[in-house]
Amino acid sequence: MGNSEPGTPPVIGIIGGSGVYDIDGLTDTEWRTIDSPFGASSDALLFGRLGGQQLVFLPRHGRGHVQSPTTINYRANIDALKRAGVTEVISVSAVGSLKEELPPGSFVIVDQFIDRTFAREKSFFGDGLVAHVSMAHPTCRRLGRALAEACSALDIPHRVGGTYLTMEGPQFSTKAESALYRSWGCDVIGMTNMPEAKLAREAELCYATVAMVTDFDCWHPDHDHVTVEQIVKVLLDNAERARTLVTRTVPALAGRHTSCEAGCHRALDAALITAPEKRDPARLALLDAVAGRVLES
Ligand SMILES: CSC[C@H]1O[C@H](OP(=O)(O)O)[C@H](O)[C@@H]1O
Ligand SMILES: Nc1ncnc2[nH]cnc12
């Protein structure tokens, strides 16, 4: 089960988005299904090693891209990663650009989100055990720094920091929506990173997203609408660079000997509000992995 106490070695989880259905260069690989009380994860998890580092990969939409952004079981995915021992999660995602200066091919190390999704389970907690975690800084600055350094070393055009608007989908935005999100100052748009980032925080996992721009959405005067065909053309090259980026980033994360300096591994310290004697045993049983650290003490 997940363990992020000081001194425990990191286990890096990679959630691969559109176009990223495997990771190159892993040794000792095994696809393993992890049972979760929250249901079925998008696919089995690929366990392996990269150099000396233990790594667990999950294709967000399943191999062959069979799950839509709305039907992905985000809770099962994060719970399964936690049960697999993962301590930090790198999310790789295709996005549309809402800024002229972020053309297709650019990478953004996202540090903020706006959540416009409305048809998804967004919390592990609820009646019987209520918790409120901070989402002021939704990504881990340490993971973000490692990703940015790897982008620089690989000469990948990238921006450090940016706001990712999560829409419900699966249809792309209307022009009016795209203009609205631009007026809010958002940088990129996608359909998956919420509630994923919220759930990673509740599960006390470090989380950072590398967003790979595939298109200009539909606001751009020279790009009247988005199509999957256009996206896939850019996606294949982006996905190849993302795999290289992950390979380069993972060794930099291997040397952590204390729990995350940004506090991700202690997100539940001040989050539970339900009185101990009022907690629902059925809810507690679901939370053995996600909240075991704070429930056992
Ligand atoms: C294939 S384009 C739309 C699809 O791609 C993004 O998914 P992911 O974040 O998993 O790369 C976007 O959010 C949509 O789900
Ligand atoms: N324009 C866009 N809108 C939403 N999700 C996307 N994923 C890739 N491009 C996108």
> DSSP for 104-143?
TT-EEEE-EEEE---SS---S-BTTB-B----SS-S-HHH
215 classed as catalytic: yes
Indicate whether residue 167 lines ligand 1 (CB < 6 A): no
CA of 110 to the centre of ligand 1 (A): 15
CATH number at residue 287: 3.40.50.1580
Q: 127, 215, 224, 288: which one is catalytic?
A: 215
Nearest to 199 by CA among 72, 92, 107, 95: 72
- Shortest-distance ligand to the CA of residue 173: 2
Domain contains 283? yes
Domain contains 256? yes
Give the pLDDT band (50/70/90) at residue 9: confident
191-238 residue pLDDT tens:
999 999 999 999 999 999 999 999 999 999 998 888 999 899 999 999
Give the pLDDT band (50/70/90) at residue 7: low
Q: b vs e for 142-158, b when ≥16 Cβ sit within 10 Å of the residue's Cβ?
A: bbbebbbebbeeeebeb
Which pLDDT belongs to residue 191?
Answer: 98
Indicate whether residue 228 lines ligand 1 (CB < 6 A): yes
Asked if residues 164 and 115 have their Cβ atoms less than 8 Å apart, the reply is: no
The number of folded domains in the chain is 1
Nearest atom in ligand 1 to 191's CA: 13
**276 burial via Cβ count (<10 Å: 0-12, 13-18, 19+):** exposed
Give the max Cα distance, the chain.
61
Indicate whether residue 191 lines ligand 2 (CB < 6 A): yes
115 classed as catalytic: no
CA of 93 to the centre of ligand 1 (A): 6
Q: Tokens 């958002």 label which residue?
A: 186
18 annotated binding-site participant? yes
Domain contains 262? yes
Is residue 62 over pLDDT 70?
Answer: yes
Is residue 256 over pLDDT 90?
Answer: no
Q: Tokens 């959405």 label which residue?
A: 217
Give the pLDDT band (50/70/90) at residue 113: very high
Domain contains 64? no
Asked if residues 119 and 271 have their Cβ atoms less than 8 Å apart, the reply is: no
Q: Regarding predicted confidence, which is higher, 283 or 9?
A: 283
118-137 residue pLDDT tens:
999 999 999 999 999 999 99
- Shortest-distance ligand to the CA of residue 213: 2
Q: Which helix (H) or strand (E) covers residue 196, if one does? A: helix 193-202
Percent of the chain with pLDDT over 70: 97
Asked if residues 12 and 54 have their Cβ atoms less than 8 Å apart, the reply is: yes
- Which protein residue's CA is at the shortest distance from atom 9 of ligand 2? 96
Helices (H), 191-297: 193-202, 228-253, 281-286, 292-296
Q: Which domain holds residue 222?
A: 92-295
- Give the CA count within 13 Å in the CB-facing half-sphere of 29: 13
- Which protein residue's CA is at the shortest distance from atom 6 of ligand 1? 94
Indicate whether residue 165 lines ligand 2 (CB < 6 A): no
Which pLDDT belongs to residue 192?
Answer: 98
- Shortest-distance ligand to the CA of residue 61: 1
Domain contains 115? yes
Strands 12-16 and 163-166: unpaired
24-41 residue pLDDT tens:
899 999 999 999 999 999
Please state the pTM of the whole predicted model: 0.96
40-59 residue pLDDT tens:
999 999 999 998 899 999 99
Is residue 288 over pLDDT 70?
Answer: yes
Q: How many CB atoms lie within 10 A of CB 185?
A: 13
DSSP-assigned letter for residue 126: B
What whole-number distance in Å separates Cα of residue 297 and Cα of residue 276?
Answer: 12
Mean per-residue pLDDT for 156-173? 97
Domain contains 110? yes
Which pLDDT belongs to residue 106?
Answer: 96
